[in-house]
Each structure stands twice: as C-alpha cells, then as structure tokens.
Amino acid sequence: MMDWVKTVCLVFWAFTFSSAADDYKEQALKLMAETPLIDGHNDLPWQMRSLFNNQLNMVDLYKLNTTHTNIPKIKEGRLSAQFWAAFVPCDTQYKDAVRQTLEQIDVVHRMCQKYPDVFKFAASSQDIMDAFEQNKTASLIGVEGGHSIDSSLGTLRTMYHLGVRYLTLTHSCTTPWVDNWLVDTGSEPEVHGGLSEFGKQVVREMNRIGMLIDLSHVSEKVMNQVLDISEAPIIFSHSSAYSICNHKRNVPDDVLLRVREKQGIVMINFYNDYVTCQDAANISDVADHFDHIKKVADASIIGFGGDYDGVPRVPDGLEDVSKYPDLVAELLRRKWTEDEIRDALGRNLLRVFREVEAVRDRMNAIKPDDKPIPLKEVQNPCRTDYGYQVKSSSASIQVFCPLLIFTLLNKLL
C-alpha cells in the first residue's frame, strides 16, 4: 500500500513540475514576442571563413548543422537581433588584419542579401525595432579586436561607414595602443599601462562617431580608464561575472558598479570556461551569473552575449541559439519580474545604443580626429611611413622588407 502511495505522489510531483516548467516556457515565449532578444556576440561569420573560406554560395543556412547557429535555430530561439562578430585572429596583426576584417564585414552584408526574408541589416537602434516589427533578425556588426583597425582612426571611421557599430578594443593580443586581458593573468607583460595616448584618442573618436565601445577582452585597468574617459555608456558584448567564475575575461564587482553608474551593459557569455571555470556547465550555472549581476549592480545593466560559434564548449541546456527561451524560462522560475526580463532581453541594449547615438549627435560639431599614432609606436620593417616627417624614405623601407627576408633566407641555406 505504501509503495502505491509513493508511486502516486511521484507521478503527481512530476506532473506538477512539468506543468510549471511549461508555464514558464509559455511566459518566456510571450515576453520574447513582445520584446526583441538582442544578443551581443555571435561568431557565425568566422565559421563561414573557417569552414567555407567565405564562399557563401556553398552554404545553405537552412540546412547547415555543424554550427551553433542556423536559420531554423534562430527562429526557434526567437533571436530578434544579433551583433555578428567581424573577427580575425591576432596573428593577422601587422599583416593583413584590415583586409581580412573587411572580408568578414562583407560576409555579414552578403548573409543579409542572400536571406532577405530572414535577416535585415541594422546600423541603428531604430533599425533593430524596424526589423522586429517585420519579424526579421536585425543583423549588426561588431569588430572583435583593435588590431583590426591597424592603429588608424581613418580605418575606424571607414568601418563605421560600412556599418560596424561596436569595436572590441582588444582580442587576446595587445595592440600598439591598448593592453589585452592576458596582462591580468601575468602571461603577458603590460605595455601601455592600459591605454596609450592614442588609445584615448580612439575612445574619444568612437564617442564622436557613435560607435559602441566594447570592453570584453581588455585588461581591468583599461576597463576603468575607458569608464573614466568615455562620454557614452560602454558595453561588454560577451563577458560574465568574475565573482562567480574567477576568470580574467569576466567582470569584477567593482567594475559592475561602475558600469551601472555609466548606465552601460554586461552581456553575459555562455562559454563554460567563463561560466564555471571548468569544462562542464549547465543552464542553471549561466542563470547564476544573471542573478549575481542583478544583485550587485541591478537588472538594468544585463544582457545576453552567448558567444555561440566562437567557443568549443557551451552549457547543457544551451546547446545552440535555439535555447534562449529556456534560459528566459529559468530566470522566470527564479522570480525575475517581467520588467526585469524585458530589460535583459533587449531594452537595456537599446537604451545604451540610443545614448551612444545621442552623444554622437551632441558631438556633431567636433571635427574628426586626424592626428596619427606616433610612427615610433607602429614602425616595423614592412610598414611604410608616407606622411610622416622622417629622414628615411618609404621607398627604402619597402626595399628593406624583401632584402631582410632575402638575408634571412641566405643565413638559413
């Protein structure tokens, strides 16, 4: 008799639990139908490079199943707006980083052209809302790594004209003007004390043109320096809470408080190594980061920054971009209010974006910064020096590079 009672109780509990889970999922889908989910970072364009050498004619995004992201998964995940990363690796620095970055920008534009019923290219906060009204995924571009502009404000402005709306100041390499996060691990030396003087120029020029400043991948010193300098709110496009996982790619509590003061946003990363500091993680572990940032700083600075297709491991329950509603349901289960959910889904990012645009408009009368980085900070054997007032001619530098290679080859032979 007791066994029968236990069985009935277990069945009743399972039914009740399942019913509650269904209710949270249904509530999540309703909220996502009313408020756009905006994700801060997805590396699908790099997958197009690494898998197909950017030959989009070879790819069907309806059928591609080797990536975290495809069109059916986007639709199931209710992904309303995505910052696609125009990423190129650090070993392109001082070589062909600008060319390769332009090719990644081109990939995003061609994705939108190939699938016009799915993607709508977006370059403003209003474009995001227009795409949402049309039931399309707003497609924005973020350049991931300051090495992509080759220490050139002209290149920065040109990329803005091509639709780039954020620049991650570093990736995992220090540039001639800013230190990257590996400095904080002790594995790389500090070179600039955070930002160089030219790095501060970059920050101010980004304010002037209306480009979001992304602090994922920078050192903690750079985080604080940019928060001091920037007139506009900043973003972390794909970082999590350092107090939950002590990884230097995450954001410390004191910086979270400063982000709140500047009315910025931290878009939470799903990479296991940044979620649990281990190989394994689950959806609840990710929700812990949401809870922590909300507790320390407020729900008003939280967003989603999955880092899909840019990482080798993602949590159980968040296997691909189709799983966003399950994370929203988990937050509802944890008693997040509908207003807090709407903020995290997209309202926070839209607020930040609109303020960045407002700062741009207020700075409209300021002339473009055309002071170049000092030659001594970027000079190398294969870089020309046109425009700089130096004794050596650019012709001699151009000759020197192949001569250097020839000399080295002779020594090896």
Q: Residue 73 in contact with residue 324, Cβ under 8 Å?
A: no
Across 164-180, b (16+ Cβ under 10 Å) vs e yields: bbbbbbbbebbbbbbbb
Give tens-digit pLDDT for 19-55. 677 999 999 999 999 999 999 999 999 999 999 999 9
* Choice among 58-62, 87-91, 341-345, 391-395 with the minimum mean pLDDT: 391-395
Residue 37 identity: L
Residue 95 identity: K
What per-residue confidence (pLDDT) applies to 411?
A: 46
217 given a catalytic annotation: yes
171 given a catalytic annotation: yes
Q: Across all residues in the chain, what is the average pLDDT? A: 93
How many H helices and E strands in the chain? Answer: 16, 9
220: nearest Cα among 251, 191, 241, 243: 251
Identify the active-site residue in 147, 217, 289, 292. Answer: 217
107: nearest Cα among 90, 88, 128: 88
**Residue ranges per domain, the chain?**
23-376, 379-413
CA angle 102, 108, 53 (to 5 degrees): 70
CA angle 376, 377, 381 (to 5 degrees): 65
Q: Residue 29 in contact with residue 78, Cβ under 8 Å?
A: yes
What per-residue confidence (pLDDT) applies to 384?
A: 93
Give tens-digit pLDDT for 95-150. 999 999 999 999 999 999 999 999 999 999 999 999 999 999 999 999 999 999 99
Across 59-75, b (16+ Cβ under 10 Å) vs e yields: bebeebeebbbbbebbe
Give tens-digit pLDDT for 290-337. 999 999 999 999 999 999 999 999 999 999 999 999 999 999 999 999
Across 251-287, b (16+ Cβ under 10 Å) vs e yields: bbeebbebbbebebbbbbbbbbbbbbeeeebbbebbb
Q: Residue 181 in contact with residue 215, Cβ under 8 Å?
A: no
Residues in the chain: 413
Give tens-digit pLDDT for 139-161. 999 999 999 999 999 999 999 99
pTM above 0.85, yes or no: yes
Right CATH for 23-376 from 3.50.50.60, 3.20.20.140, 3.30.70.20, 3.40.140.10: 3.20.20.140
Identify the active-site residue in 147, 192, 238, 289. Answer: 238
User: Both tokens of residue 43?
Assistant: 């590396």
Identify the active-site residue in 68, 147, 150, 171. Answer: 171
Identify the active-site residue in 39, 127, 144, 285. Answer: 144
144 given a catalytic annotation: yes
Rounded Cα distance between 287 and 311, Å, is 19
What per-residue confidence (pLDDT) applies to 18?
A: 59
Q: Please compute the mean of the pLDDT values over residues 72-99 and round it to a whole number.
A: 98
289 given a catalytic annotation: no
Residue 20 burial (CB count, 10 A): 12
238 given a catalytic annotation: yes
What per-residue confidence (pLDDT) applies to 382?
A: 76
Which pLDDT band holds residue 395 (cuts at 50, 70, 90)?
Answer: very low
For residue 22, what are the contacts with CB-CB under 8 A and spacing of at least 6? none
Q: Residue 275 in contact with residue 359, Cβ under 8 Å?
A: no
Q: Show the 3-state SS of 113-138.
A: HHCCCCEEECCCHHHHHHHHHCCCEE
